[in-house]
Amino acid sequence: MSEITITGRKRLALLSGRAHPALADEIATLLGTELIPTTAYDFASGETFVRFEESVRGVDAFVIQAHPAPVNHWLVEQLLMVDALKRASAKRITVVAPFFPYARQDKKHKGREPISARLMTDLYKAAGANRIISVDLHTPQIQGFFDGPVDHLWALPMLADYVKDNFDDGNITVVSPDSGRVRVADIWADRLGAPLAIVHKRRDPDVPNQVTAQEVVGDVEGRTCLLVDDMIDTAGTIVAAAAALKKNGAKRVIVAATHAIFSDPAVERLSGDSVDAVVVTNTLPIPEEKRFDSLTVLSIAPLIARAISAVFDDDSVSQIFPGHA
């Protein structure tokens, strides 16, 4: 009987939008490859055009895009890239979104509101994505919004190791800036072998980015306090919590977060007396005008590169995080 035999081979294709080229270049270097040449520009009307300059037929494609402001612009660009890959016969398409767009809108607070994070996953699926890789989702439930595999990466081990090496004086207390982050703060506390405190905050649901009251639960007097959160936007919550800790006798306040959104007036607030040091990652681009003396930026590229390599090789991604598989 005659037959046709094709020797199977896998090809990894790394592609990037224009939002954070430095991160994409670093990931490509760590993987020992180059980004697929891509033409992308905006028309006068505001519409975006993308085209890949090399064949992507049959590839295992990874589309990297950060989502800083304006989020909608970079989101649409990534969706267009996914659609172009699908129509160019890519074998598998993985969306790499280090900071997942609309992650904070993961549930309804009042009637007649959208669940925007769910809509984002639907858009990725409709465009042609088979898989999503993201870092420190605002809530783990977002993994269930997407009809396909979601690799949820943690920056905590990297951040915690840096804090331990540079700020742990044996007198450190991990602090959750609100009740919603207690579970993550508890994991930090276990990793650092430190006690846990909580800053209880009250918000006005009708006024965004504004905290109305702060109350510290736990002993922080004379201690180095490590405030941990997944993101810093306007820094209102973090700085108010830091001020409350200082008011309650904290010796110094260190802030650690994964996503540095740094919407105005975040830099001004974080540069004040309440916060002694800030440690973040580069899941989002941080321009020079938003950097300040007490800021440390760690690269997330090695973590993402390891995850991409594991997915491409059909290995376990959870093995990157021993003890959390």
Could you list the active site residues? 201
Contacts for 291 with CB less than 8 Å, ≥ 6 apart: 297
Are the beta carbons of 14 and 64 closer than 8 angstroms? yes
Quick check: helix, strand or coil at residue 65? coil
Task: Report d(CA 131, CA 151) in Å as an integer.
Answer: 8
Q: What's the number of CA atoms in the CB half-sphere (13 Å) around residue 323?
A: 6
CA distances from 173 to 53, 157, 158, 227 (A): 52, 17, 18, 9
H/E stretch holding 77 reads helix 71-87
Quick check: helix, strand or coil at residue 57? coil
Tell me the β-bridge partners of 174.
Answer: 196, 226
Quick check: helix, strand or coil at residue 92? strand
Are the beta carbons of 184 and 166 closer than 8 angstroms? no
Task: Report d(CA 26, CA 34) in Å as an integer.
Answer: 10
